[in-house]
Amino acid sequence: MFTARSSSSSLVVLFTSLLSLGVFETRASVIITIAESGSDVVATATGSVDTGGLTLSSSIGNSASVWPSFALGGNLFLGTTVSSTLESFSGVFGPASYGTGSRTAANSSSGQLFGVATTRVYLGPGYVSKTPFTSTATWNSATLSTLGITPGTYTFTWGTGGNADSMVINAGAVPEPEQYAVVAGVLCLGVAAWNRRNRCA
């Protein structure tokens, strides 16, 4: 006979197993959110980059901007509105674009110099691998649509083994589909256990 105690134990085991698999944890080291805030669009990057799986290839000059459809891979730069030097690291695997928009400079920005494109990560000179940072950029009187950004989740990966790393762009702050599925599944199991417990009481 199914009892409330056995159903609760099963839920605990399931939840613990999901935690151990990292289902409820953010798997990417850098999370970038691009979202509308009032009449503006704000991009925020938080996390750290493991450069051990990347190759330092060159230096470039750039400033805070977004270019979703850039021919060499949609790119995003945060941290400064003044053209500054960033170190370019290759070895990244990411989406070719995340929209149709051309380059739009940000109106304001703050934090660590940071950028990402399809095959590269850009960091300020002297960045120490795995150092946490926060970078922002704001486009005044803009929307995702006027910037040509297609809402969605875009994942970038690099490195292997202990140097494996990744980042995620959430354009429009769209949660990953599997997060919806897992949370919905756990809620359904909880409701089912509650119903069975009440029937058995």
Q: Residue 73: what are its φ and ψ, rounded to 5°?
A: 120, 125
pLDDT in tens, 84-111: 999 999 999 999 999 999 999 999 999 9
Give the per-residue pLDDT at 22.
41
pTM, to two decimals: 0.73
Percent of the chain with pLDDT over 70: 72
Give the per-residue pLDDT at 43.
98
Give the per-residue pLDDT at 195.
55
Residue with tokens 């070719």: 96
Alpha-carbon distance 98 to 153, whole Å? Answer: 9
Residue 167 has pLDDT above 50, yes or no: yes
Q: Do 92 and 120 form a contact (C-beta atoms < 8 A)?
A: yes
